[in-house]
Amino acid sequence: MAALHIDRLVAVIGSGAMGAGIAQVAAVAGYTVRLYDTRADAVAKAISDIAAAFNKLVAKGRMDAVDCAAAIARLQAAVTPADVADAGLVVEAIVENLEAKRGLFAQLETIVADDCILATNTSSISVTAIGAGLRVPGRLVGMHFFNPVPLMALCEVVSGLATDAAVAQTVYDTAAAWGKNAVHAKSTPGFIVNRLARPFYAEGWRLLNEQAADAATIDAVMREAGGFRMGPFELMDLIGHDVNFAVTQSVFNAYFGDPRFTPSVQQQELVNAGFLGRKAGRGVYRYGDAPAAGVSGAGHADAGQPAEKVEKAEKAEKAEKAETPPVGGAAWAFCEAPQAKPEYVSYTTEQGTASQAVGGALADSLAARLRAAGIAISHRTMPETFRHAGPHDDAPAFHCNGAAVYLTDGRSATQRARDNNHQDTVLFDLALDYGSARRIAIARSDQCSMAAYDAVVGLLQAASFVVTRLDDLPGMAVMRTVAMLANEAADAVNQGVCSAAAADIAMQKGVNYPRGPLAWADAVGIEHIVRVLGNLAASYGEERYRVSPLLRRKQASEGRFHE
């Protein structure tokens, strides 16, 4: 199988934002592109906008002047649909309406040759439904680009029930020839990205709704601990709440009201108010001169300048000497701090260090950072109280001034303090990389003494973390979001929507996630992700947080998504 032959014409129908972008990437790749739109001025505008974009690239030295002239010369206007008769591939990017798309493709079938591939850029309509009724339904395939097309590297190649596999492969290879990361997907609601990304927004809304922190703080944690380019609220403000809410509703409805996809009442209120985000001057945040912030709890003083909450640095000075833990039980490690520095204790169980039990390499990189900050480590024996508290040993990642400090496992700190019969319990959230993360989020149990809590804050500040306290919600922010992203990705793979590799590429290239959700589950440990989800389900119910059967299967086989 090979990409569409370079000599064959590419037609783009609909010359709005997406059509123009698609024409641009095809022209750069050397294809002759003919654009059509029911509004003739849209075609002229698209071609002149693309030429202007090329000329800018030449001015910046990122495109050769000769190549620029040649690419512009490859862009042609079609005056009537009949002008695309010799196309080898037609990409449709008209209005998002099933009847309009069906009507267009029915008309095109009377114009183009039988071997011409018909592709739709729909983002939410079933490719199967668009292709139904065509004379040659096997040649209709989804070719889903992301906005702005020249910058976004992903193209989902979406097969409907009737799509010919050879057609999908030709479109896949063609997208690759146009410089895109192509992934195959089965036509199901949201395809890959628009489905798998739902928990990123949904968990954000839930955290805000339950007052884990204000929006600016949650955004900062997701960015600076989670490594996401933008937090959920600033991203939704950018996308537009009308658009984001409509996609959520469309996926929810398409899955017959599956509670996992339930839209947010808070976001609906933003839409009701016309607080649509940046474009409206006001969304979760306010921009420019707009008055007060749109969502209760999201407020911050400076327009467009989210001010997140941070634990104050003086907490570092409050750190006290670590308590000597009781001796007995399995061996554990105790970190003897240099004078005047906060102390760090890590535990050893019979299975190895406790950090291996709570996220392996992730927690080890946190320990390495603490060590690099001059916090010495010595070894002690893990007290009996932390052993066999539940089905597993619940060994803290470390122990500081009496506080047992754990990576969140989906229980609240308060619950965990009770389960382990240890009041001074502090949790830390997942980070993409504890070695380099600017920020770390922590939560304290309701029973935790301020002295013990302050010591933990001081310890983390001594290792140069900006420390943010989230209210004590199950699963915290990054862990809860990543666990749900991985759960959704696992479901999509389990249902044959896409491969594990495609799921991860799609989320990295389509929405710029710092790591694919399944690779992230591998890094945290499938066992831990399943535990987080199970504990979330215990708090919030099985409907939304039920564990994907594929995650359970990987857990049982001790497998990974990527070897």
| Gap between the Cα atoms of 64 and 57, Å rounded | 8
Q: Which H or E run includes 557?
A: helix 549-557
532 binds ligand NAI (CB under 6 A): no
E-only strand ranges, 9-112: 9-13, 33-36, 75-77, 87-92
Nearest to 248 by CA among 296, 196, 300, 209: 196
Does 42 engage in binding with ligand NAI (CB under 6 A)? Answer: yes
Please write down the HEC assignment for all residues of 155-187: EEEEECCCCCHHHHHHHHHHHHHCCCEEEEEEC
Select the span of 37-45, 298-306, 319-327, 436-444 touching ligand NAI (CB under 6 A).
Answer: 37-45
Element (H, E) at 427: strand 425-428
Task: Choose which of 18, 130, 467, 507 interacts with ligand NAI (CB under 6 A).
Answer: 18
Residue 325 touches ligand NAI, criterion: CB under 6 A? no
Q: Report the residue from 14, 359, 402, 474 that binds ligand NAI according to the rule CB under 6 A.
A: 14
Q: Examine residue 16 and tell whether it contacts ligand NAI (CB under 6 A).
A: yes
Q: Is 57 in the site for ligand NAI (CB under 6 A)?
A: no
Instruction: For the segment 109-138, give every residue that binds ligand NAI (CB under 6 A).
Output: 121-123
DSSP string, 183-234: EEEES-TTTTHHHHTHHHHHHHHHHHHTTSS-HHHHHHHHHHTT--SS-HHH
Give residue for tokens 């927690």.
363
Would you call 194 a catalytic residue per the annotation?
yes
How many Å apart are CA 3 and CA 266, to the nearest integer? 45
Give 455 or 497: the residue with its C-beta nearer to ligand NAI.
497
Q: Say whether 253 is catalytic.
A: no
Of 17, 69, 176, 310, the residue at the interface with ligand NAI (CB under 6 A) is 17
Q: Does 44 bind ligand NAI (CB under 6 A)?
A: no
Residue 40 or 556: the one with the smaller Cβ distance to ligand NAI is: 40
- Is-catalytic flag, 156? yes
One character per residue 134-173, x = contact with ligand NAI (rule: CB under 6 A): ------------xx--------------------------
In the chain, DSSP finds a helix count (H) and a strand count (E) of 22, 17
At closest approach, how far in Å is the CB of 18 from ligand NAI?
3
- Check residue 278 and report its DSSP letter: G
**Does 512 participate in binding ligand NAI (rule CB under 6 A)?**
no
**Min dist. Cβ of residue 140 to ligand NAI (A):** 14
Q: Which stretch binds ligand NAI (CB under 6 A): 11-19, 51-59, 199-207, 374-382?
A: 11-19
Q: CB 81 → ligand NAI: shortest distance, Å? A: 8
Catalytic residue at 123?
yes
Rounded Cα distance, 262 and 253, in Å: 9
Closer to ligand NAI by CB, 81 or 516: give it: 81
Residue span binding ligand NAI (CB under 6 A) among the ranges 30-38, 350-358, 363-371, 420-428: 30-38
Helix segments in 351-472, DSSP class H:
354-357, 361-372, 413-419, 450-462
Return the beta strands (E) in 78-165 as ranges: 87-92, 117-120, 140-145, 154-159
CB-closest chain residue to ligand NAI? 16
CA angle, 122 as apex, 116 and 126 as ends, to 5°?
Answer: 90
Going residue by residue from 78 to 107, which x/- string records binding to ligand NAI, judged by CB under 6 A?
Answer: ---------------xxxx---x---x---
Cis peptide before 148 (omega within 30 of 0): yes
Of 34, 53, 49, 25, which Cα lies nearest the Cα of 181? Answer: 25
Regarding 242 and contact with ligand NAI (CB under 6 A), the answer is: no
Q: What is the DSSP letter of 406?
A: E
Instruction: Choose the catalytic residue: 15, 121, 123, 355.
Output: 123
Total residues at the site for ligand NAI (CB under 6 A)? Answer: 23
The active-site residue out of 156, 203, 311, 488 is 156
Which residue of 8, 12, 19, 427 would you call a contact of ligand NAI, by CB under 6 A? 19
Residues lying near ligand NAI in the complex (CB under 6 A): 13-19, 36-39, 42, 93-96, 100, 104, 121-123, 146-147
Catalytic residue numbers, as ranges: 123, 144, 156, 194
